[in-house]
Amino acid sequence: MSRKQKGSDAERELVEMLQNAGYASVRIAGSGCSKFPCPDVLASNGSRVLAIECKSTKKERQYFRKQQIKELLEFSNMFAATPMCAIKFSTSWHFIEPHKLRDSGKHHATDRKHVLDEGCALY
């Protein structure tokens, strides 16, 4: 399975999980190659709108390109949405606000322990 396919499958899984939790949610296909800032997933439960950048990994650490986070924040600001990063570590999803990611120089990063300590629940 290609990395692109793995990412798309993870985004679809997250959309279904959010739907089951009472959020209307959609995957924005091609979000990574659009010339305009846009998140991977957009979700709302009627009182909260989320713009979500998604990652899936089998490793303990996950990186986000700084440009991805910059665009997530731009979109969220224009859309009046709460920006959120969703990381699937192996089998479980975790959520963390972009400002809580660590600056690793070239990227923003987090790991499973950091997300467990600093992350948040969506519900």
Q: How far apart are alpha carbons 24 and 44 in whole angstroms?
A: 5
Distance of CA 20 to the CA centre of its chain: 17
- Side-chain-side CA neighbours of 93 within 13 Å: the count stands at 19
Annotated catalytic residue 76 = no
* Catalytic site residue from 31, 76, 90, 104: 31
Rounded Cα–Cα distance for residues 13 and 111 (Å): 21
DSSP-derived secondary structure for 29-73? TTGGG-SS---SEEEE-SS-EEEEEEEEESSSEEEEEHHHHHHHH
Q: List active site positions.
A: 31
